Amino acid sequence: MAIKFQYNKTALHNLNKQLKIRLKALPTLKNKEAALRLEVKKAKDRTDVLDQQLKMRISEQELSAGLWNEFIPELIRIENVSITSKKIAGIAIPVIKEIVFKEKDFSLFLKPDWFPAGISFVKELAGIVTEREFYARKAALLDRARKKTTQKVNLYEKVQIPGYEDAIRKIKRFLEDEENLSKSAQKIVKKRQQKQKAATV
């Protein structure tokens, strides 16, 4: 990125100001990036753990798979998922507070005696699936924020800071050259004046 500037002290002052802002912000951005990277890893790890839990619980029921044909899925459903949010490195992330289930009444005498355990099992699976979905979404949100932060770190570190430093260096050299030329011109003028004075005396 080419930084536009003029060869004067005002431009030098403005560029120094912009450089200081970026140098001050860079460590904070790097810390934010590291925090987000860690949170993404935690969320992905939790998603993997929940996947394993789900597979394990389903495989435990393989022997009784035939019984599930008798089960009535309408007996239980998720009525509400209560969500709050918390900030992680400045990013608002959804957090499951509570999963509320709605159960339909049924006759314990007319239905198989394993139905209450079946309802508990379905609740457990629904809880795992819901939580897993949230952690997957959390990982995606955090990863998107991490990528944006990484882009900003790279922009500051590899483009803007070197660009400002280069522009400042060019302006300083120009101003120094200008000052040297001015001093040289003054010396030449002074010598001429001294020669003219000596010639008139």
Q: What tens-digit pLDDT sequence spans the chain (201 residues)?
A: 578 888 888 998 999 999 999 999 999 999 999 999 999 999 999 999 999 999 999 888 877 777 777 777 788 888 888 888 888 878 888 888 888 988 888 777 777 777 888 888 889 999 999 999 989 988 998 999 999 999 999 999 999 999 999 999 999 999 888 888 888 888 888 888 888 877 776
Nearest to 122 by CA among 168, 58, 167: 58
What was the pLDDT predicted at 122?
87
- Terminal CA-CA length for the chain: 61
Contact 139, 1 (CB under 8 A): no
With H, G, I as helix, E, B as strand and everything else as coil, classify residue 193.
Answer: helix
Calculate the CA 96 to chain-centre distance.
21
What was the pLDDT predicted at 94?
81
Looking at residue 106, what DSSP letter applies? -
Q: What is the pTM of this model?
A: 0.74
User: Could you tell me how many residues make up the chain?
Assistant: 201
What was the pLDDT predicted at 1?
59
CATH 1.10.287.3240 for domain 13-187: yes
What was the pLDDT predicted at 149?
95
